[in-house]
Structure 1
């Protein structure tokens, strides 16, 4: 995941950006927020984001100074700048600082996601310069990507034999297809790539990655040595996840409810919550219903509706924006759910005031 930091002195503006971005679709994760440039630099130092989205008009260290510091101290960090129509000075500084894009406020969902997509593609292009794909012919590249996807899927399924089988098949393919003079570089890059893949699988399913992946990121004397080393590392990863799952059979419902409250405005599903807590969706569903009297989906919907009512009635937020901030991309669907929940369409809330 590409880590993203949002810097803006207005909390509402930060929340709008967070809600409008299709972060998972672009392989991104918002890992922090700052309300000025000074706090932003501190978080950049601590969290190491790959992408910074920043406003230009801020108290203290403003956007111009922040861009200069970023360009000097963190040239590898991608930058997206936000500001108003009349900020020509800021636009010139954004250009000088090689910002990926300059977005006008209020931020538009389509424009934001277009820029995020471009940033993701550029980061992937940079990543692939050290990828095993750069050393592969087209046919081997296609096969490798297929093996890679199957290894990822079996890691998520916690299927140790299947992971080992795919690694061994990949090993035989590399032995057969890679020239001897390229083999050492290929094994090093392949190992690094698959270790990163395993880390992504661990984060996706809520696993503790366990042992440091770097312990097996080293030169390999042979294909079989790499297969054996990676298989051992992945087995340890899956064993750790299985042990966590056994220990989580007794769910702490207060912890589950707290997680839902913190994420109900995001795309959230029964399957995703179950994966986070390393239990089956059936077990989560039964335990949650027994503890609260509601299904998980009913609980999520209730939280979203109460938040939507507050945003529309108390804050006079446009209905479309309120829907987006509550996790609803489809406005028509939001209208149907709102009316079913409250008995009136959202527009009537304002007429009742």
Structure 2
């Protein structure tokens, strides 16, 4: 069954267009119109079986469209779309020949399918043979589309040299996307292992990507959308003429990226290439886009990541010049059993990774090599760590961004130390001594973990882990121990009230002070003071 959609709202058109895979249910979406006048013209040329139309549109609304369709003896079915409060319009539409109506705000996939199926079942028996023909034609077109996609995919991924009679294949698939100048958009998901947004079916996700992107590229005739895999697409956009600037290309990428994320609710990266010319440069455009997309590893979540792949970014020099030198430095630290230096070293490398043009794969490889050095110490002591090694390397490779990699690396250090029963350091490092000294002198004040960390120029979470590994204490627990010891000393003064004692140890809330004291000494401050005075 052929279907036309008419609605003046783009988001509604996109929603209806991608809500179902039309061919799977025996329907063929042959046209989309922005107003009733265009829909009427389409109905004359495309001969649709079903028209889905909004009631309120510019140029010609849905009621006028129904009247004109009746005049030309339209034999199909019309389903009208309405909003709340338009019941009079709906009633008039039903009188004028509409077969059903749908509310936009509550529209679901099953509602749309039910209305379509009801309309299709109400049509004359003569249409059954036609529906079967449409299905066969759709399958044939799908086959042709798959053949074209595979052809363009081979050209993009570097297998084009294996294609014989290239020009005849280009003409066979009726594509001219790279005949002259073109640029590419590389669209990829940030989390490649699963779908997390509104669409959980991989085929429907791919279908939606194609349809939404094609809708956004109406002003770029001849553009081709190539599926590399379900989560990765390359859009080849002809750019004939002198007015296509880099700024214009970034604008196109931004519009596509934001619209895709808005509808699909998935985190995406869109990389835009510089301009290339001719079929032979397709693979270079793809390579540059794919490489630049790795920059998203260093970006935070938020607005769609739009990345300019206009020039090479990553360098192989860091791996050759620095990688092994840093590993040698780490090995020396491990000879002194200074495990925490590995974490400091890795954080230092991560902090400069973007500036040093370190590819994420190099960074992950470096993290794995550091862990391997630690595991070697265990092997020397007779500990079997094969399974642990595989687990940790897999965990590091799962990192989706640099911050997650840092967290996974820290967890790997802690896990490995526990597994190998690494000995504790005998001497506390200077930063820990500085922290302890600071807390002793300021325990009577209202201080936070952030203030303590700033005193030694360390990250809050890193200081917490470092303190725990060095001393065996949670840093806040240690601070509270100092405060309770000070409180016990102050209780020797019979003139001090508990509220005053709490304030003098940096705790403004007396109820919190009571709970904390009771947790440490198994009795309330009042009971403790009474026992102390009696003694």
Pick the TM interval, shorter chain.
Answer: 0.3 to 0.5
The TM-score, its normalising length taken from structure 2, stands at 0.32
Higher helix content, 1 or 2: 1
The TM-score, its normalising length taken from structure 1, stands at 0.45
